[in-house]
Structures are given as C-alpha cells and as structure tokens.
Amino acid sequence: MRTQVGIVGAGPAGLVLAHLLHLNGIDSVVVDRQTRDHVEKRIRAGVLEHGTVDLLTAAGLADRLLRERMVHHGVELLFDRVGHRVPLTELTGREITIYGQHELVKDLISARLDTERPLLFEAADVQVDGTELTFDVDGTQTTVECDFIAGCDGFHGISRAGIPSSALTVFEREYPHAWLGVLAQAPPASDELVYAYHDRGFALHSMRTPDITRLYLQVPADTDVADWPDARIWDELRTRLDRDDPRWQLNEGPILEKSVAAMRSFVVTPMQHERLFLAGDAAHIVPPTGAKGLNLAVADVAVLAEGFAEYYAGRGSGLLRRYSEICLQRVWRVQHFSWWMTSMLHRVDDDPFTRELQLSQLRYVTSSTAAATTLAENYVGFPMA
C-alpha cells in the first residue's frame, strides 16, 4: 500500500489532521491500536477554545458540536468559601465551548468514514521505520509506504522513538498529585465551571450536558481509585466546593465513570525529524488545570496540515521545515499557563508560605482587571495560526 501521509493514532490530533488533509486533496492512512468502541468511549477533557471551534467549523466538523455544545462566557474561582467570576468574554471578546472530547472523536470518526479514506482500528504491532509504516490487522501484516509520517499516538505511543534520542531534548515535570475524576448523572449545580482552592486540596466542578456533571478532586499521585467509594467522593466534593451562599447545593447522582489521572508537564524538542512529525500528546503533555491538551493537539495539526498543503501544492517545504519552531511557541505559552494554574490552585504541602502566596495570587487575579485579563486570554486561547 502507498499513501502520502501515514498517521499513527486516531485521537483528536490524528483525526483532525486526516480531515484537514482530505480537504486539501491529500491522501492518508490512519491506524490506531485500540478498538473503535474504546476510542469513542474514552472519557477525557471537555473544554474547547474559541479558536478550536472556529477551526472545526471551517473544516465542516462541527455540525453536532454547534447544536449540542454548552457555550460559557466565564469561569469561577472559589476560595475562602466565596466564588469570584472571571468574565472571559467581557475581557477577551471570546468564549469557550463545553463538549466532551469523546463526542468530538465520534464526530471525527464519522467524518473520516464518510471520506472513504482508510481508518484502521485494532492495529497490532504498529511500527514506524523511516517512511514505512507497518502493522497487523486481523493477522495480516501490512506495510504502507508513506511520503511522511505523522506521529499522533499520544504520550504512550511508539512514534516519538522514531526520533533518535541524541536528536531529542526532553523537558519534564511531575507533580505530587493527581486528579480523581468522576462523571455523574446529575444536573450541574452551577452555570459555569468552578475551580476551587481548598485547604484539603483542589476541586473542579465541570459539566458535559444539562444532565451530566464532571467533577475532579486533587488526590495524592499514588492514589488507588478503589480507596474512593462513591460516598467518600461526594463527601469530599461537598466539603471542597462548599461556600457561604445558602442557595449553593451540589447536585448528586449515580457515578457513571471514575478514574485517576496522573499530572505532568512534558515537552520534546524538536517535534520533527526528517519526514516524521509529532503532534498532540505524542510531543507534549500539560497538566489538565488549564484545559489545554486537546486544544494544543488541534493547534499542532492545523500548522502541520498547512505545511503539507503547501508542499503538495508545489510551493516548497518552508512551513514543514519550521513546523516544530512554530508549534513550540504556543506549546511553551500553554505549558506556562497550565503550570501556573496548577501551582495556584493545588495544595502541595503544609507550607503556610506557599498557601499565603496562592491566596494572594487568587485575590489578585479576581480583583485586578489586568491579572484577570491575562488568565482569561490564556484560558480562551490565542487564535490558531
């Protein structure tokens, strides 16, 4: 088999790239090691930047998203039992969209299938060797000769190893905490997301639909989800989200999904080597506090697709050569923002000095227009290239 771009991984990065290439008449083969069902049910993040939605809309990928999404114009920071709204749209003119990543992935898979270009799930033993992509589907080994490879196979994928370690620099920071996330069959208790700083640890009240709440608790990094029966989760959420407002009440309901996610900051540079390009989680991870992982993946492939379009239109490989350099500008801005949000909102130790600094920063961000605008501008995201 032959193709122009071999794409490893059918997450948001791989699928959006495949579609942008299709719109430019560029052929690709997408392979993923998981089943379609697994990929479509994997619960991940749910906040889309304004620019991400614009890009998906322009690509014709947002029909259901625009019908079913929840549009938010602010977020709330809760500390000392009082909520403080950051008016995102008032400060930036832009909004955010709440739409589950797995719902987006369903839409992307369906759009890919409509193009009748190849999308292969359950590919075993996926390997990249130069521009050769090999894998096993139903016991048959296939080799695809590609002009280029796009490594969109997430943090645990194999593509990154296609760049010799002598050519790679790895930047990494691990955090002593993780997020315990639950999806609950309960109407959100608030119209907007609530980021809560509490002496017992951070909590986040988010949502997916008018009937489904998404909630997170800061827990130690080595937490076993089995130690968190539902009643303990609700107790802790009630405590950390409580406030001096008699109208506030957390809505509880059956827990549909529960998992612990590690937190790390991670970047590899460069994000390319010869004809291999890394995009999304394969190249960088951010802690989830800034809600950026999916948006950064889409921003990468927007640049990559432009580069391929330029190349196949016979206009040279200038953009492809600068792919990593262009992406890393945004990657590091988002790394800083995600680290900053994480540092401001999580209890790390019993150090009273750190606590006072965090509270001072929270008071600053919620009282100074300049500081609130900095948060808002980063949170809603910068326009795509």
Catalytically active residues are 72, 195, 288, 292, 379
Amino acid at 155: F
Binding to ligand APR by CB under 6 A, coded x per residue (else -) over 134-173, reads ------------------xxx-xxx---------------
- Residue 383 per-residue DSSP state: P
Residue 152 partner contact from ligand APR, ligand PHB, none using kind-dependent CB cut-offs of 5 to 8 Å = ligand APR
Interface region with ligand PHB, contact rule CB under 6 A, candidates 77-85, 160-168, 283-291, 319-327: 283-291
How many residues of this chain interact with ligand PHB, rule: CB under 6 A? 10
The contacts of residue 201 (CB under 8 Å, 6+ apart) are: 177, 217, 218, 219, 240, 346, 347
Residue 126 partner contact from ligand APR, ligand PHB, none using kind-dependent CB cut-offs of 5 to 8 Å = ligand APR
φ and ψ at 74, to 5 degrees? -165, 165
For the chain, percent helix, then strand, then coil, each to nearest 5? 40, 30, 30
Q: Using CA atoms, how far apart are residues 327 and 170, in angstroms rounded to an integer? A: 16
- Buried b or exposed e, range 336-349, using 16+ CB within 10 angstroms: ebbbbbbbbbbbee
Binding to ligand APR by CB under 6 A, coded x per residue (else -) over 269-308, reads -----------xx-----------xx--x-----------
The contacts of residue 8 (CB under 8 Å, 6+ apart) are: 14, 31, 126, 128, 133, 149, 150, 151, 152, 153, 157, 158, 159
Considering only residues 13 to 32 of the shown chain, the ones binding ligand APR according to CB under 6 A are: 13-14, 31-32
Residue in 126, 182, 233, 304 binding ligand APR, rule: CB under 6 A: 126
Residue 32 partner contact from ligand PHB, ligand APR, none using kind-dependent CB cut-offs of 5 to 8 Å = ligand APR
Residue 214 partner contact from ligand APR, ligand PHB, none using kind-dependent CB cut-offs of 5 to 8 Å = ligand PHB
Residue 83 partner contact from ligand PHB, ligand APR, none using kind-dependent CB cut-offs of 5 to 8 Å = none
Query: Closest residue to ligand PHB, Cβ-based?
Result: 206
Give just the sign of the alpha carbon dihedral 99, 100, 106, 109.
positive
Q: Would you state the structure tokens that stand for residue 376, as one six-digit string?
A: 């808002």
Residue 153 partner contact from ligand PHB, ligand APR, none using kind-dependent CB cut-offs of 5 to 8 Å = ligand APR
Q: Which long-range contacts (CB under 8 A, 24 or more apart) does 313-316 make?
A: 313/24
Q: Using CA atoms, how far apart are residues 91 and 172, in angstroms rounded to an integer? A: 32
Give, in order, the Cα–Cα distances in Å from 349 to each of 73, 177, 220, 353, 367: 33, 11, 11, 10, 26
Binding to ligand PHB by CB under 6 A, coded x per residue (else -) over 44-83, reads -xxx------------------------------------
341 within 8 A of 290, measured Cβ to Cβ:
yes
Considering only residues 167 to 196 of the shown chain, the ones binding ligand PHB according to CB under 6 A are: 193
Q: Using CA atoms, how far apart are residues 176 and 357, in angstroms rounded to an integer? A: 19
Binding to ligand APR by CB under 6 A, coded x per residue (else -) over 74-113, reads ---------------------------x------------
The verdict on 49 binding ligand APR (CB under 6 A) reads: no
Give, in order, the Cα–Cα distances in Å from 126 to each of 129, 132, 290, 354: 10, 11, 32, 46
Which residue ranges make up the site for ligand APR (CB under 6 A)? 8-14, 31-34, 39, 44-45, 101, 123, 126, 152-154, 156-158, 280-281, 293-294, 297
Which residue ranges make up the site for ligand PHB (CB under 6 A)? 45-47, 193, 204, 206, 214, 288-289, 291
